[in-house]
Structure 1
């Protein structure tokens, strides 16, 4: 679908979404607790859904991803430069709605789940250092919303911001004694001197590290490799995520998701919110 046509479809979808019925799990939630969040569910390119953030929250996702561009001091959310829209800012789509939701839920994104931080993965598409420094100024405006690193200690907040994308963001982050965001590492960072207080998440491209795409049994060597990665990361207090896993509905996708769960991978990446929600519910996750 052409990009312009796709944006029109998303706009129409957003208008229709406002009249959608409240999901059954939300109707059935008990007083004092909302729907159980799916901490392992990660909404890849979340902003491309008809209702950014809110669709993921309706499907109980514990993590969402937003790509940002620094344009004249504004942080605009889009996948490609052609899609940049001055009304689609990080504040309007994510920061302000999250802050409002946390206030309404007395300190948590999901009502009654105060010990379950919500992850906001921010993928920087413009030059990393300058974009991060501007992002840091934006995050400072949201007092008590974000997990912070302060002089060697991590203080948990309702939302944990993790910075991905352009790798030049790392240097200014490492230099800060106080920050409201963390760094998304790669497999090359696994076992490095950088602590989990800087790199709490290890993410990498599935297709560059594994040949198996869900057809037939996973090769024993690749299963061992996957589990070794997870074990090594967890020993250091780091979580694991892979992008570019199969994401077309069917047995291959479910086979890969099943191996990821069995290995202890912390975040499953998808564009299909309902599909992953159903899979995780069926597997008691």
Structure 2
């Protein structure tokens, strides 16, 4: 029995050391994170500071899946994300990473906006001790910041006195004066804004446009994310990643955890 215990400790120790040594990467965001073998945990092992979970309201439960056909009753938002995050924060001196970097949980609503959001708000309220909470427009920054994307019931969210999640804006919101306390993140589809997909040099006008978007958003206190950027291995993806990084885009979207970790760690 003693020998078995020692063997188990020795087997676990390298993994524990590796987990403790993971460097948090501020720009690393796991797109469709729940499709990885170990949702959330694989992203954390690669230093990601943002993950995306798509949710469906089914019989009063918030279930995580990309397509309705893939819904499974045991894959709840709580089981895959909120409970593991709460446990990690509790065991790690109130932090997701020892370095204390913030963490974004992007929640993409797939079913009807308002009823799904109401169910989400009720669930998130149970995790208020680890979440960023907005009370009467004042932000109480938590270890984890939840942001609602997809079918966002904007008017209902604006009306709330207390919120446990921010609103994910779109490019038309760039011209608005939406407070960062309500809209901390501005996201949009790369292919609807830019024609360049990583072949050759980025056109001068498009590089200037990207830089202007980031500059404007940052001046208003918002972070920036694009989806639908090239994500197949190759020079096109790396070229786009270089431009996003250089422009100061806050969240670089990918399904390839290891490669983005390697790129951002160089």
Q: TM-score range by the shorter chain?
A: over 0.9
Distance 1:197 1:214 in 2: 34
Residues 1:80 and 2:70 are matched in the alignment? no
Q: Does residue 152 of the first structure (1) align with residue 137 of the second (2)?
A: yes
Q: Tell me: CA distance 1:189–1:26, structure 2 relative to 1, closer, same or farther (3 Å).
A: farther
| Alpha carbons 1:77, 1:84 under 8 Å: kept | yes
Query: 2:8 is matched with which residue?
Result: none
Contact kept? 2:131, 2:145, Cα under 8 Å? yes
Aligned residue among 72, 86, 90 for 1:99: 86
Q: Deviations over 1:172-230 (max 9, x none)?
A: 11111111100000011112132111111000000011010101000001001000000
Shift of 1:112: 3.9
Match of 1:58 among 21, 42, 45: 45
- Whether contact under 8 Å (1:136, 1:179) holds in the other structure is yes
Equivalent residue for 1:254?
Answer: 238
* Length-normalised TM-score, structure 1: 0.87
Tell whether 2:213 aligns with 1:213: no
Alignment gaps of 5+ in structure 1: 1-20
Aligned length: 256
* Distance in 2 separating the partners of 1:202 and 1:24: 39
Q: Give the whole-Å Cα distance in 2 for the aligned partners of 1:42 and 1:132.
A: 22
Any conservation in 2 of the 1:34–1:112 contact (CA below 8 Å)?
Answer: no
Paired with 1:94 and 1:263, the residues of 2 have a C-alpha distance of 30
TM-score by length of 2: 0.93
| Equivalence map 1:201-280=2 (5 Å) | 201-280=185-264
Q: Secondary structure at the match of 1:40?
A: strand
Cα RMSD (Å) of the superposition? Answer: 1.6
Cα–Cα, structure 1 residues 131 and 23, in superposed 2: closer, same or farther, change >3 Å?
A: farther
Please give the alpha-carbon distance, in whole angstroms, between the structure 2 residues aligned to 1:25 and 1:35: 11
Paired residue for 2:126, among 141, 152, 177?
Answer: 141
Aligned mates of 1:79, 1:236 — CA distance in 2: 32
For residues 76-133 of structure 1, give each alpha carbon's deviation from its aligned partner in whole angstroms, at most 9, with x where no partner exists.
00001100110000000001000000000011111241xx210000000001111001
| Uncovered stretches (5+) of structure 2, i.e. residues with no partner | 1-10
CA–CA distance in structure 2, aligned partners of residues 23 and 149 of structure 1: 40
Alpha-carbon distance, 1:22 to partner: 7.3
Contact 2:177–2:220 (CA<8 Å) still a contact in 1? no
Superposed displacement of residue 36, structure 1: 2.1
